[in-house]
Amino acid sequence: MKNAKRETISNRQAHRIIALLAGALFVLFLLSFLLGRFDVPLREVIRILLSRIIPIRQTWTDRMAVAVINIRLPRILLACLVGCCLTAAGISYQTVFQNPMAAPDILGASSGACFGAALAILLHAGRVGVTVSAFAFSMLSVFLVYLVGSRTRGNRIMSILLAGVMISSLFSAGTSYVKLVADPTNQLPAITYWLMGSLSGATLNQVGYALIPMAAGLIILFLLRWRINLLTLSGEEAKAIGVNTGRLRLCAILCATLLTASSVAVSGMIGWVGLVIPHLCRKLVGSNCRFLLPAGMLFGAIFLLLVDNLSRNLLSVEIPIGILTAFIGAPFFLFLMTRRETPV
């Protein structure tokens, strides 16, 4: 009875924390519309957003509507989606590979996306072409990793991890070569800026295209969060309860890869989100993916939205978001390590 009561209390606390995170994200979502060079009152922001759903008498200017709908809304939505996806991918990889240092780029998805984007910029592709190329090469990278890892002998998980390191190195070398031959006046700065990560110039169409693979990966992982915990069991224990861990592991890897590829394709390289936020969420709700995954999705969205607000308002010139996540994430992770609250 005592253990059951403890578990009930723990579940209530986890639900309470998830509800608080959802509330915090909602508040931050609205407040983010107030940040920018052009001032729009909160009352008008809410009315503008509601006017897209229900008919409301216009009390705002056309300039306010453009600022809210065309400029701030796509960027805010994309920040929430990318933060949510990268954290969910990080939680999935860390659980699947039983490695606390696993991050969304562990299988080379980020390196493949960087090469694809750099190649598209070199070939004078437009913004859509860069996004599509980054996504395609990201998926190709992970496919090669899994193909190589599945054909090697020995421990399957270790083989996949090593293959990820090798394939990632190859694509990183390809990116370096593309930067070497790129035009130093126009193409090289564009490649460099993309590699630093940014959400500037986001459009509702871009959000719509990215939402399809993101929603597919997030929904499947959310539905499987009860079973992902079973990946921590040994093969014999899993077979004893009738669970095919190989199939479950492959499904989790594919969904996490889809989330990583779609996120990096639209935002560039944004590090540390998928590594740091899962560890912080474990301190809040524990390691049970039943609570860890939804808490991580919300916390990741909050974190990246906060960082993006800083990146576009801290200085007169926008700071690439990848730089800020590294400045914030790396010291925080070192703090967790020194307190021995992160297993390494």
**CATH, residue 177:** 1.10.3470.10
CA 93 to chain centre: 12
Distance CA 302, CA 324 (A): 15
**DSSP reduced 3-state for 316:** coil
Amino acid 7: pLDDT = 43
Answer yes or no: is 279 within a domain.
yes
pTM surpassing 0.85? yes
Distance CA 18, CA 302 (A): 12
Answer yes or no: is 42 within a domain.
no
Q: Which residues of the chain have pLDDT under 50?
A: 1-9, 342-344
Answer yes or no: is 146 within a domain.
yes
- Tokens 């800026």, located at residue: 193
Which phi and psi angles does 291 have, rounded to 5°? -105, -30
Answer yes or no: is 31 within a domain.
no
Amino acid 329: pLDDT = 80
Answer yes or no: is 213 within a domain.
yes
Which phi and psi angles does 152 have, rounded to 5°? -95, 160
Tally of structural domains, the chain: 1
Answer yes or no: is 66 within a domain.
no
Helices 42-51 & 2-32 angle (0-180, nearest 10): 100
CA torsion sign for 145, 150, 152, 154 is: positive
Answer yes or no: is 241 within a domain.
yes
* CA distance to 4, 232, 288, per residue, from 7 (Å): 5, 19, 12
Q: How many CB atoms lie within 10 A of CB 280?
A: 19
Note down the domain range covering 104: 80-338
Answer yes or no: is 220 within a domain.
yes
